[in-house]
Amino acid sequence: MRLVPLLRSLLPALALVLLLATVFWQQPRAMSYFGINLLFNLAVPLVFATLAQMMILAVSDLDLSIGPFVSLVATIGATLLAQQPWLGAAALAAAVAAYALAGAVIELRRLPAIVVTLGLSFVWLGCAVLLLPTPGGQAPAWLIETMRWQAPWLPLPIWVAIAAAWLGHLLIARSAFGTLVRALGGNAAAVARAGGSLVALRAGVYAVAGLFGVLAGLMLVGQITSADARIASHYTLVSIAAVILGGGEFSGGRVFAVGAVIGALTMTLAASLLTFLQVAPDWQVGMQGLILIIVLGLRAGIDALGRRTKERQ
C-alpha cells in the first residue's frame, strides 16, 4: 500500500535520472563538473520562474504572465539596474507591488486569474519594449560575476537548485504562511471562516511569486549578460509543465517545491538531450511536451493502481 504513493513521489526524480543517464550515454564527456554545469546552467532562472508559478498554482490560480514578467525584470537588469542602481531597484520593487496588487484585485473582485494574468502579460511586455526596444543592454558586472562563480564540489546550478528546493519546501510546507496558502487553494471558505483575510493572503502569494520572478529575471540577465523584451516568453508554459511534472495539481492546493525544482531541471535537461539527438529546434518543444505526457501517463497509471489496491482491501 505504501509503495504506490512512494512511486508517485519518486516519479519526477526517476524521470530526471533517466534523462541524465541518457545524456551521459550520448555524451560521456558531459559527466564532469563543467559538463554538468553546461547541462543545467539555463535551469537556474527557470527554477525560480517555476517556484513563482508554483505559488500561484498553490491557490488554484494560473499565471500566464510569468514569462513576460521575467523578461521585464531582465530588461530592467540590463538597463536601469546597470545605469542607475537605485532607480532599477525601485522599478523591481514596483513590479513586485504590482503583482501583489493584481492578486488583491483578483480576490476582491472575484476575477478569473487566468484572464487577469493574461492582461498583465501584455503590460509587462509593453513595459519591457519601452525599456529595451531592441535586444541589447548590459547586465551589472556584479551580477555577471555572481552567475559565473565556480562553486566548490558541485556546479553552481546544482547548489542553486538545492537551495531553491529547500527554501520552497520551508515556505510552502513548513511555515504557517504555506499552510494558509495551501488551505486557500484547497478550501478558501474554511480560511475565511477562520478569520483570515483572503485579499491579504492572495496578495501575499502574488508578492512572493513576484519576488521569485525577480530572482529568475536577474539570474537570466546575469547569464546572458544582455536582454531582450521577449527573452523569457517561453517560461510561462515551461514553468506550468515543470510544476505539474513535479507532482503539482491545477487545483486543491497540492504543490511540491522539491518536485517543482526537479521538474524545472528535467525540462531543461530534456532540451539538452534533444539537442544531442540532433532534433530540430522546431520539434524540440513538441518533444518536451511528449516527455511530460509520458510522465503524467505513468502517474495516472500509478494512481489507478492505488485505487484498485484500496478497492481490493
Q: How far apart are the first and last CA of the chain?
A: 10
Contact 216, 70 (CB under 8 A): yes
Q: How far, in Å, are 36, 39, 261 from residue 246 at the CA level?
A: 21, 19, 7
What sign does the CA torsion over 105, 107, 109, 115 have?
Answer: positive
What per-residue confidence (pLDDT) applies to 285?
A: 67
CATH value of 7-304 in 3.30.160, 2.60.120, 1.25.40, 1.10.3470: 1.10.3470
pLDDT > 90? residue 170: yes
Phi first, then psi, for residue 110 (nearest 5°) are 55, 45
What per-residue confidence (pLDDT) applies to 99?
A: 92
13-25 per-position pLDDT tens digit = 887 888 888 888 8
What per-residue confidence (pLDDT) applies to 249?
A: 80
Low-confidence winner among 26-30, 48-52, 118-122 (lowest mean pLDDT): 26-30
pLDDT > 60? residue 1: no
Phi first, then psi, for residue 290 (nearest 5°) are -65, -40
pLDDT > 80? residue 45: yes
- Collapsed DSSP state (helix, strand, coil) of residue 182: helix
- Looking at per-residue confidence, does 148 or 195 come out higher? 148
Question: Could you tell me what percent of the chain has a pLDDT over 70?
Answer: 88
- CA 178/CA 171 separation, integer angstroms: 6
Burial class (CB in 10 A: 0-12, 13-18, 19+), 176: exposed
- CA 88/CA 65 separation, integer angstroms: 21
pLDDT > 80? residue 313: no
Q: How far, in Å, are 174, 200, 249 from residue 185 at the CA level?
A: 16, 14, 10
What per-residue confidence (pLDDT) applies to 282?
A: 65
64-101 per-position pLDDT tens digit = 999 999 999 999 999 998 889 999 999 999 999 999 99
For residue 69, which of 92, 90, 88, 51 has the smallest C-alpha distance?
A: 92
For the chain, what are the domain ranges?
7-304
Q: How many CB atoms lie within 10 A of CB 69?
A: 33
When pLDDT is averaged across residues 213-236 and rounded to a whole number, the result is: 90
Record the cell numbers describing residue 311, joined without a space: 478497492
Low-confidence winner among 91-100, 136-145, 221-230, 264-273 (lowest mean pLDDT): 264-273
- CA 90/CA 96 separation, integer angstroms: 10
Record the cell numbers describing residue 255, joined without a space: 504543490
What per-residue confidence (pLDDT) applies to 129?
A: 92
- Looking at per-residue confidence, does 280 or 106 come out higher? 106
Q: How far is Cα of residue 87 from the mean position of the Cα atoms in its chain?
A: 26
- Looking at per-residue confidence, does 190 or 216 come out higher? 216
Bridge partners (DSSP) of residue 136 are: 227
- Looking at per-residue confidence, does 178 or 209 come out higher? 209
- The residue count for the chain: 313
Give residue 3's pLDDT band: very low, low, confident or very high (50, 70, 90): low
Q: How many CB atoms lie within 10 A of CB 236?
A: 23
231-253 per-position pLDDT tens digit = 888 888 889 888 888 888 877 77
Contact 50, 260 (CB under 8 A): yes
For residue 292, which of 256, 252, 253, 239 has the smallest C-alpha distance?
A: 239
Contact 102, 55 (CB under 8 A): no
- Looking at per-residue confidence, does 281 or 123 come out higher? 123
- CA 273/CA 291 separation, integer angstroms: 12
Average pLDDT, the chain: 85
pTM above 0.75, yes or no: yes
Q: How far, in Å, are 9, 167, 233 from residue 103 at the CA level?
A: 30, 22, 21
What per-residue confidence (pLDDT) applies to 33?
A: 83
Phi first, then psi, for residue 227 (nearest 5°) are -145, 175
What per-residue confidence (pLDDT) applies to 272?
A: 75
pLDDT > 80? residue 2: no
Give residue 254's pLDDT band: very low, low, confident or very high (50, 70, 90): confident
